[in-house]
Chain A
Amino acid sequence: MDLVVRDLTVARGGVPVLEHLDFTLGAGQVLVLRGPNGSGKTTLLRTLAGLQPPMAGEVGLPPEAIAYAAHADGLKAQLSVTENLAFWASVHGTRDIVPALKQMNLESLADRMAANLSAGQKRRLGLARLLVTGRPIWLLDEPTVSLDTASVALFAEAVGAHVAGGGAALIATHIDLGLEAEILDVTPFKADPSVVATGAGAFDEAFL
Chain B
Amino acid sequence: MSKNEMMMDSFWENYPFKIQMLSEKPKNNGSLTEEDAKNLEGSLIGCDYGSVESGEWIRFYWVIEPATKRVIACRYQMFGSPALRATADMAALLCRNKNPKEIEKIDYKNLEYFLRDHPNSPALPDTRRYLINFVLRAIKATVHKVQGIEAESSPIVCECANISLDDIKATIKNFKIDNLKELADLTKAGAICKECISHDTYKAPREYYLDDILKETLKEMEAEGTKKSAIPDKPFKEMTPEEKRAAIDATIDEYIRAMLVMDGGDMEILDIKENGVNTDIYIKYLGACSGCASASTGTLFAIEGILKQKLDPDIRVLPL
Mutual binders A and B: no
Which residues of A does B touch, CB under 8 Å?
Answer: none
